[in-house]
A and B are shown apart, each in its own frame.
Chain A
Amino acid sequence: MGKAEKKQQQQEVQNLIPGLPDEIAMECLIRVPYKFHNDLKSVCQRWLNLISSHSFYRERIRSGKAEHLVCQVQPLPLSPPNPKDSSSATTHLVSDSAAKITSTKKDQQQDDDDHELHQQRQEVHRTPLQYGLTIFNASNGTWERIRPHVGRIPMFCQCVAVPASRKLLLIGGWDPITLEPVPDVYVLDMVNNSSRWRRAKPMSVARSFFACAVVGALTVCVAGGHDGQKNALKSAEVYDVEADEWRMLPEMDEERDECQGVCLEGDRFFVVSGYGTESQGRFKPDAECYDPTTGSWSKFDHVWPFPSLSPRGSTATITSNRLQQHQWLWFLGKEQQQNGEVVEGKIVSSIVPLPKSVTEGSSSPCVSVTTLHNSQQQQKVFVMTGNGGRGCSSSSALSSFICNECEGEGAFIMERDMSNGNIKWDHVHLPVGFSGFPCSASFLLI
């Protein structure tokens, strides 16, 4: 920089930026957007250490510079219309991770399969639906896709962000080729080595459509779902993210397939609704809650009033300090909207009507809901619907949402003003190739 600084440089080689006090250099560096952090790490050793440290990301959060990322597992378009999305970048990631993630012979086999799959795709574009990890950056409205290993991300796996360790987990789901449930867990460290999925310890059983939530700072609880024989499960287990270890929890009282996981009060794990093997598709009205201090489950009745509807995806939990209650928001279609508010103990469930353009297409639309922001003043929730296709909306009331460059009209941000309860919906631009309905989504502030 300046001449004066150049002179000082000799004495201050350890400074983050020569000539500037470290605190100002830090102020500059925390403002560089997340997607460029990998480049910054290659500048020098001190920057590498800083930008790999948790304190750097804590500082970004403290100063309000952290970015809001919605991480979603999304089906990839079958023949990518976007050239950026297909060839060079993708193949680089494929070969890179394929070379690194292998640890067993079985893996090797699968990698070969992946490779074949990829080639097939280029030849005929007629392969099983493939999934990718999509990052919607709500801070600047951009969409990016990381596709570390094509054909490998399990269908319907649960995507869970663990904020305290800045890691992203993919848990369970179905093998994309055999369509069998898998116990697999993949971890992506968003701060260090963010180019590679690491295969973590698997769950004790293959599991899909289970309840899942980050409970406490660094553990993830899973419960219910179904196994490889389509049996609904009672079992529950907890994953320690740092130790990479699974531990069994006591079983729940009942089997719960297609149930929803919710964490309340920081460490209480609720498993809501679901159904047993013998009563497939009839969703239970109750929930079970695991309390880690007593190590036992307890039951809550009358929590879910919709016997033909799964709470998965369509609900968002929001803790509000008002009256020591927990608020649970349901994003539902027209048919369910008459129900109003459901209060059970400390849980208040309120129904948030979806925008008309969404409900007109279907009476119970699929929605994927991710909480972005929650404070005493305002709640902000990202909602993506299965009604992505153009033309499904004829609503004139929402014509302002319709964006000519969007592939679909299925992404929104809901803002709820807590002082008066008013709800405002904003359309989110959905670029070509990103309209696939996310089977799982999670939020990370980074």
Chain B
Amino acid sequence: MASSSSSSSCSSSSEKKITLKSSDGEALNVEKNVALEFEPAKGFLEDNSEEADDEAIVVPLPNVSAAVLSELIPYVKQRLELSAKPVQKKLIKAFDDQFTRHLSDDKLGELMLAANYLGVNYLLDVLCDVTADRIKNKSVEYVREFLGIQNDFTPEEEAELRAQCPWAFEGVDQD
């Protein structure tokens, strides 16, 4: 293997770079350790390990757009740096919160698909939490609208379902 891990003090710029090619044909340069976090890239690099020069390798990622990749790459990079240190889980949580807080609903969906395809399970986990958080304590109409789900109940069925209210709830959140 090419030595990508000389020492932890070594600045990231001196690390080996790999080129990822997005679905829309853009080439993005990333550190090898970041690329290895993406399952398809890891597999590709293993298959082409006899290639002497990593710089020459271009990994095709036909399911992820450049826009999504350019969000994912800095996240994964920082997350890797965080998990290399003996930091508390709280810090990672705060970092994840910061990353997800301002994600638009569209972006959230795109990132989930990308995280799933790329096998970045820790990100997928966080994104699923965020989705669950965004649909809990909301009106049924809001949830349908938010996720683009068709209401396939008859009005009678729906009225009956809604009559089942086991808990003495406070009101739901504002949509």
Contact = CB atoms under 8 A, between A and B. Distances in A.
Q: Specify whether A and B are partners.
A: yes
A18 interface: yes
Interface stretch (B7-15, B34-42, B90-98, B166-174): B166-174
B132 A1 contact: no
A24 B128 contact: yes
A89 B166 CA distance: 9
Interface in A72-127: 84-85, 89-90, 92-93, 96
Given A27-B124, A32-B132, A44-B151, A20 B109 contact: yes
Q: Which of B110, B147, B166, B169 counts the most A-chain CB atoms under 10 A from its CB? A: B166
For chain B, which range describes its interface: under 10, 10 to 19, 20 to 34, or 35 or more residues? 35 or more
Given A24-B116, A31-B129, A44-B144, A17 B149 contact: yes
Contacts of B164: 38, 41, 193-196
Interface in B109-159: 109-110, 112-113, 116, 124-125, 128-129, 131-133, 135-140, 143-144, 147-153, 158
B105 interface: yes
Interface string A129-147: 0000000000000001111
Contacts of B152: 44-45
A38 B132 contact: no
A303 B82 CA distance: 54
A1 B147 contact: yes
Interface in A20-36: 20-21, 24, 27-29, 31-33, 35-36
B102 interface: no
Contact of A5 (B137, B138, B148, B163): B148
Contacts, number: 117
A291 B139 CA distance: 51
A359 to B, nearest CB: 34
A41 B147 CA distance: 14
A9 interface: yes
B168 A24 contact: no
B106 interface: yes
A92 B168 CA distance: 9
B131 A28 contact: yes
- The residue in A39, A40, A84 that gathers the most chain B C-beta atoms within 10 A of its C-beta is A39
A6 interface: yes
20 contacts: A1-B105, A1-B148, A2-B106, A2-B109, A5-B148, A13-B150, A17-B149, A18-B149, A24-B112, A24-B116, A27-B124, A31-B133, A36-B137, A42-B153, A42-B158, A43-B140, A43-B151, A44-B144, A44-B153, A48-B161
Interface of A: 1-6, 9, 13, 17-21, 24, 27-29, 31-33, 35-36, 38-45, 47-48, 84-85, 89-90, 92-93, 96, 144-148, 193-196
Interface of B: 105-110, 112-113, 116, 124-125, 128-129, 131-133, 135-140, 143-144, 147-153, 158, 161-170, 172
